[in-house]
């Protein structure tokens, strides 16, 4: 539900301005079919008049008739030639007498151009198509939210009981939804057809017949093929060229096109429109109302409700709290006696901070909660400072604490007592490293401790509760902390394919490719992001680096089966068609920069996955050098065929591999040292280094780069400061 609301909100915000323009201009244009029909007397399609009678009446009142057409809105137009050129005349389809031409006028012409392209040409047409797609998403997600919230389809007809703004939004949405679904879906189709992404269908092209001009041509009223077609089915009639006895009539009807022999009066050839043409015609009718002015008016009425939907939706979105601590009361920093600052990368630490804040407030404390980046120089009424922080990567600060240590230099703790709580996974070598750095820095600044540094392993609720009892005792209050882990909404993914390596060397690795189940949508992602997988019976997600991006239509990870591993074991035993629950977590600190500078990619084992993803995305063919290590090329040479293809295509400049179980083989760090001169040249020319694999490998690779770069006056720390050395180690 949260994902649905987020999709609905984002689509609404993205489509607001252009969507409002399309809706209002579409409402104005919806009267155009009725205006045309009323002007030309074609409100009702005539059924009793034959095409022969129409052609005879028109040619009897107008010289030089070359072609007669009937528009989708049943307006009859005769095209004729004169001594000065060409002209056209409109006829009432019922009385078959000339009528005044319907005038579009400057206002309607302006609105049409605004609706179709926003006066921006091809770019504007593309923008209109994208906006139509967003409005389609908006209407579908809005209906789904309303149905879920109100308890089913039938509840849509009952009066909403929400607040005033929500009530207006829901009521307007009910009116807008039918028209918006039709207009948006058909608008997307027409936009795709305009840019040739979808075929609009070809015109029927009958073969031209051989005409025997031995006799005199029949009078129009005597031609059976014209007498047998009613005006309601008629589309166009092209007359034979006057001075060519071998020319024929060409008749187009709702069923197709054909040539009529003027001497026999029979249909000599015929071609029916293909499915694409029929589909395009139907969609055009639904979108414009041309040929069905009543449908146009109904769509226009629905469009009048869209501005209310958009305006109230924007108001609701702007009123929505942005804080991850939604629903938790917090007081201004200047008046708070208890300060809670949070350092979090993926958001999970905020859940612990929320629980701590609630319980401290219930105990009578005035609590202020903020990001670590928002550390003030002092807190006038502060008594206690809590610092809750995770650690990113190999000891780095998480996203909301990136500037904390620098701000800490100007911080005056006064008489505040401080407590640091770190979050991490003790299987990592740098377990809670950033929290340790915070605690040490506070100690260096002489801050008073409320309690010793504490660490929470894998979001343990028991450890958090024990820490709560400890700090409660230190503060002289009862503090019962109960944390319920929260994970983002998941997507159900279906296994599309699997390939397993390394079984013969007792190190099985599976490359797994998934698609969204059913009609679901894949989460937006890019190579290097993380797929968080929830194994059956596991409360804590496990993260796997992605080798794919969302444009491919699938999501791919590489998993090494760990002995006794709940999640890795579950993933490696999946069969094609099985499903998993997962969500994508952005990993902005492990991304290839957008530049022409060289890439140096270093990995071992399953750490190859995101590196292959970066190479897949290297369409600009920037220099890319891959160093990768496995165990045995006969059993665990991951992505071997694709690496060969990437090298042949120019997306991979050079591939260096090593296999530890081959005689004379070794590890990837040794290959780096052996390529010292080349690496020095690449790094000094601005290369970015990306390393992925196990922590032991990561440490050895850092040491190797330090040794390689020392002769040119560089080291890994210097590259990290320039964001040119990025790691994803586990």
Q: Which two three-digit tokens encode residue 284?
A: 């055009």
Q: Which two three-digit tokens encode residue 295?
A: 């449908």
Is the pLDDT at 52 greater than 50? The verdict is yes
Q: Which DSSP symbol is given to 154?
A: G
Contacts of 157 by beta carbon, 8 Å cutoff, 6+ apart: none
> Helix axis angle, 121-150 relative to 105-117, nearest 10°?
70
**540 and 609 share a domain?**
no
Is the pLDDT at 154 greater than 60? The verdict is no
Q: What string of DSSP letters covers 177-207?
A: HHHHHHHHHHHHHHHHHHTTSS---PPP-PP
The average pLDDT across 133-157 equals 68
**End position of a domain, from candidates 585, 618, 634:** 585
Residue 192 lies in a domain: yes
**226 and 372 share a domain?**
no
Sheet holding 491-501, edge to edge: 542-545, 530-534, 579-585, 491-501, 509-516, 555-560
Say how many C-beta atoms besides its own lie within 10 A of residue 227's C-beta: 15
**380 and 468 share a domain?**
yes
Percent of the chain residues topping a pLDDT of 70: 89
CA distance 171 to 305: 9
**617 and 568 share a domain?**
no
Note the maximum CA span of the chain: 117
**412 and 558 share a domain?**
no
3-state secondary structure 251-286: EEECCEEEEECCCCCCEEEEECCCHHHHHHHHHHHH
The average pLDDT across 683-697 equals 92
Question: What is the CATH classification number for the domain harbouring 700?
Answer: 3.40.50.80
Cβ atoms of 600 and 708 within 8 Å: the answer is no
Q: Quick one: pLDDT band at residue 146, thresholds 50, 70, 90?
A: low
Helices then strands, each counted (H, E), the chain: 20, 25
Say how many C-beta atoms besides its own lie within 10 A of residue 103's C-beta: 10
Which of 283-292, 677-686, 694-703, 712-721 has the highest average model confidence (pLDDT)? 677-686
3-state secondary structure 505-559: HCCCEEEEEEEECCCCCCCCCCCCCEEEEECCCCCCCEEEEECCCHHHCCEEEEE
> Helix axis angle, 2-29 relative to 293-319, nearest 10°?
140
> Helix axis angle, 275-288 relative to 164-194, nearest 10°?
140
Strand partners, 513: 497, 556
pLDDT, one tens digit per residue, over 57-78 is 999 999 999 999 988 777 899 9
Is the pLDDT at 48 greater than 60? The verdict is yes
pLDDT, one tens digit per residue, over 489-506 is 888 999 999 999 988 777
Say how many C-beta atoms besides its own lie within 10 A of residue 322's C-beta: 6
> Helix axis angle, 164-194 relative to 2-29, nearest 10°?
70
Strand partners, 501: 509
Question: Which phi-psi region, left, alpha or beta, contains residue 613 (left: φ > 0; alpha: ψ -120 to 50)?
Answer: alpha
Domain that holds residue 111: 2-35+106-200+281-318
Q: What string of DSSP letters covers 447-460?
A: PEESS--EEEETT-
CA distance 182 to 114: 20
- Half-sphere exposure for 76 (CA within 13 Å, toward CB): 27
> CA 470, 476, 482 angle in degrees (round to 5)?
45
How much is the pLDDT for 468?
Answer: 93
The lowest-confidence range among 534-538, 574-578, 719-723 is 534-538
CA distance 339 to 116: 55
Q: Which helix (H) or strand (E) holds 341?
A: strand 338-343
Question: What is the CATH classification number for the domain harbouring 542?
Answer: 2.40.30.10
**683 and 607 share a domain?**
yes
3-state secondary structure 587-654: CCCCCCCCCCCCEEEEEEHHHHHHHHHHHHCCCCCCCEEEEEEECCCCCCCCCHHHHHHHHHHCCCCE
**646 and 712 share a domain?**
yes
Residue 210 lies in a domain: no
How much is the pLDDT for 322?
Answer: 46
Instruction: Name the CA radius of gyration of the chain, rounded.
Output: 36
CA distance 54 to 447: 98
The average pLDDT across 565-584 equals 91
Residue 330 lies in a domain: no
**687 and 723 share a domain?**
yes
Contacts of 32 by beta carbon, 8 Å cutoff, 6+ apart: 108, 288, 289, 296
CA distance 717 to 326: 38
Residue found under tokens 């499915």:
275
**380 and 460 share a domain?**
yes
Residue 483 lies in a domain: no
Q: Quick one: pLDDT band at residue 94, thresholds 50, 70, 90?
A: confident
Cβ atoms of 423 and 432 within 8 Å: the answer is yes
Cβ atoms of 527 and 554 within 8 Å: the answer is no
CA distance 174 to 302: 9
CA-wise closest residue to 141 among 26, 1, 273, 249 = 1
**27 and 121 share a domain?**
yes
CA distance 618 to 645: 13
Q: Which helix (H) or strand (E) holds 722?
A: none
Q: Quick one: pLDDT band at residue 328, thresholds 50, 70, 90?
A: low
Sheet holding 76-82, edge to edge: 98-99, 85-91, 76-82, 65-70, 234-238, 249-253, 256-260, 267-271
Residue found under tokens 């929400």:
162
How much is the pLDDT for 27?
Answer: 84
**29 and 129 share a domain?**
yes
The lowest-confidence range among 53-67, 194-208, 324-338 is 194-208
Question: Which phi-psi region, left, alpha or beta, contains residue 80 (left: φ > 0; alpha: ψ -120 to 50)?
Answer: beta
pLDDT, one tens digit per residue, over 257-276 is 999 999 999 999 999 888 87
Number of folded domains that form the chain: 5
How much is the pLDDT for 466?
Answer: 92
Is the pLDDT at 38 greater than 80? The verdict is no
Residue 254 lies in a domain: yes
Q: Which DSSP symbol is given to 710?
A: G
Residue 659 lies in a domain: yes
How much is the pLDDT for 47?
Answer: 60
- The better pLDDT of the pair 17, 629 is held by 629
pLDDT, one tens digit per residue, over 586-635 is 887 788 988 899 999 999 999 999 999 999 999 999 999 999 999 999 88
Is the pLDDT at 652 greater than 80? The verdict is yes
Q: Quick one: pLDDT band at residue 336, thresholds 50, 70, 90?
A: very high
**End position of a domain, from candidates 443, 475, 507:** 475
Output phi, psi for 379, to 5 deg. -125, 105
Q: Which two three-digit tokens encode residue 634?
A: 């006969």
How much is the pLDDT for 12?
Answer: 65
**End position of a domain, from candidates 415, 441, 475:** 475
Residue 326 lies in a domain: no
**161 and 306 share a domain?**
yes
Residue found under tokens 């528009």:
71
Residue 654 lies in a domain: yes
State how beta strands 579-585 and 530-534 pair.
antiparallel
Q: Which two three-digit tokens encode residue 95?
A: 């009385």
- Half-sphere exposure for 160 (CA within 13 Å, toward CB): 19
Query: Which residues in 286-314 are b (16+ Cβ under 10 Å) and which e?
Result: bbbbbbbbebbbbbbebbbbbbbbbbbbe
The average pLDDT across 186-205 equals 76
Q: Which two three-digit tokens encode residue 645?
A: 């293809």
CA distance 261 to 208: 10
How much is the pLDDT for 162?
Answer: 46
Q: What string of DSSP letters covers 405-460?
A: HHHHTT---TT-EEEEEEEE-TTSTTTTHHHHHHHHHHHHTTPEESS--EEEETT-
């Amino acid at each position: 539900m949260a994902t649905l609301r987020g999709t609905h909100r984002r689509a609404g915000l993205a489509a607001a301005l252009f969507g409002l323009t399309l809706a209002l201009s579409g409402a104005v244009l919806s009267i155009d079919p009725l205006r045309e029909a009323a002007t030309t007397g074609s409100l009702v399609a005539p059924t009793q008049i034959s095409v022969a009678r129409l052609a005879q009446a028109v040619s009897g009142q107008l010289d030089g008739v070359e072609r007669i057409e009937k528009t989708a809105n049943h307006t009859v137009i005769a095209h004729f030639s004169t001594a000065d050129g060409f002209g056209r005349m409109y006829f009432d389809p019922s009385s078959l007498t000339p009528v005044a031409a319907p005038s579009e006028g400057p206002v309607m012409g302006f609105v049409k151009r605004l609706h179709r392209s926003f006066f921006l040409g091809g770019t504007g047409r593309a923008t209109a198509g994208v906006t139509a797609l967003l409005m389609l998403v908006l209407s579908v997600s809005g209906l789904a939210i309303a149905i879920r919230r109100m308890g089913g389809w039938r509840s849509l007809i009952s009066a909403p009981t929400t607040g005033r703004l929500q009530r207006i939004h829901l009521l307007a949405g009910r009116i807008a939804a039918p028209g918006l679904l039709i207009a948006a879906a058909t608008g997307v189709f027409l936009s795709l057809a305009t840019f040739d992404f979808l075929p609009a269908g070809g015109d029927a092209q009958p073969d031209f017949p051989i005409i025997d001009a031995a006799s005199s041509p029949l009078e129009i009223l005597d031609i059976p093929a014209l007498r047998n077609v009613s005006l309601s089915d008629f589309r166009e009639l092209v007359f034979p060229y006057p001075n060519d006895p071998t020319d024929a009539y060409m008749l187009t009807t709702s069923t197709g096109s054909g040539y009529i022999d003027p001497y026999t009066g029979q249909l000599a050839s015929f071609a029916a429109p293909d499915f694409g043409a029929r589909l395009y015609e139907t969609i055009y009718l639904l979108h414009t109302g041309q040929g069905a002015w009543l449908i146009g008016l109904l769509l226009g009425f629905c469009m009048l409700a869209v501005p209310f939907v958009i305006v109230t939706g924007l108001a609701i979105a702007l009123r929505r709290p942005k804080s991850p601590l939604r629903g938790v009361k917090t007081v201004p920093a200047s008046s708070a006696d208890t300060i809670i600052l949070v350092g979090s990368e993926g958001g999970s630490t905020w859940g612990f901070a929320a629980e701590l804040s609630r319980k401290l407030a219930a105990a009578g404390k005035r609590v202020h909660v903020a990001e670590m980046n928002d550390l003030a120089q002092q807190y006038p009424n502060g008594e206690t400072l809590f610092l809750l922080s995770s650690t990113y990567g190999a000891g780095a600060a998480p996203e909301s604490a990136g500037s904390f240590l620098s701000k800490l230099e100007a911080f005056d703790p006064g008489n505040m007592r401080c407590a640091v709580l770190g979050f991490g996974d003790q299987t990592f070598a740098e377990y809670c490293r950033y929290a340790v750095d915070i605690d040490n820095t506070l100690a260096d600044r002489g801050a008073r401790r409320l309690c010793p540094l504490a660490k929470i392993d894998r979001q343990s609720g028991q450890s958090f509760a024990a820490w709560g009892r400890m700090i409660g005792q230190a503060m002289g209050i009862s503090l019962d902390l109960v944390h319920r882990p929260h994970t983002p909404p998941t997507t159900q993914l279906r296994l599309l394919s699997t390939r397993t390596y390394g079984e013969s060397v007792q190190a099985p690795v599976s490359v797994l490719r998934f698609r969204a189940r059913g009609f679901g949508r894949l989460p937006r992602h890019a190579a290097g992001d993380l797929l968080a997988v929830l194994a059956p019976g596991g409360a804590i997600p496990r993260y796997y680096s992605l080798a794919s991006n969302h444009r491919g239509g699938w999501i791919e990870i590489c998993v090494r089966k760990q002995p006794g591993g709940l999640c890795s074991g579950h993933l490696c035993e999946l069969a094609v068609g099985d499903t998993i629950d997962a969500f994508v977590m952005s990993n902005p600190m492990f991304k290839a920069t957008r530049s022409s500078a060289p890439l140096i990619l270093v990995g071992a084992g399953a750490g190859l996955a995101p590196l292959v993803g970066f190479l897949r995305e290297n369409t600009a063919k920037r220099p890319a050098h891959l160093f990768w290590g496995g165990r045995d090329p006969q059993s665990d040479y991951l992505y071997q065929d694709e690496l060969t293809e990437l090298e042949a295509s120019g997306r991979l400049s050079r591939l260096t591999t090593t296999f530890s179980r081959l005689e004379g083989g070794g590890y990837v760090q040794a290959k780096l040292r052996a390529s010292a001169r080349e690496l020095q040249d690449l790094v000094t020319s601005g290369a970015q280094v990306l390393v992925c694999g196990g922590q032991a490998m990561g440490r050895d690779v850092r040491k190797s780069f330090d040794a390689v770069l020392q002769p040119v006056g560089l080291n890994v720390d210097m590259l990290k400061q320039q964001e040119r050395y990025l790691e994803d180690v586990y």
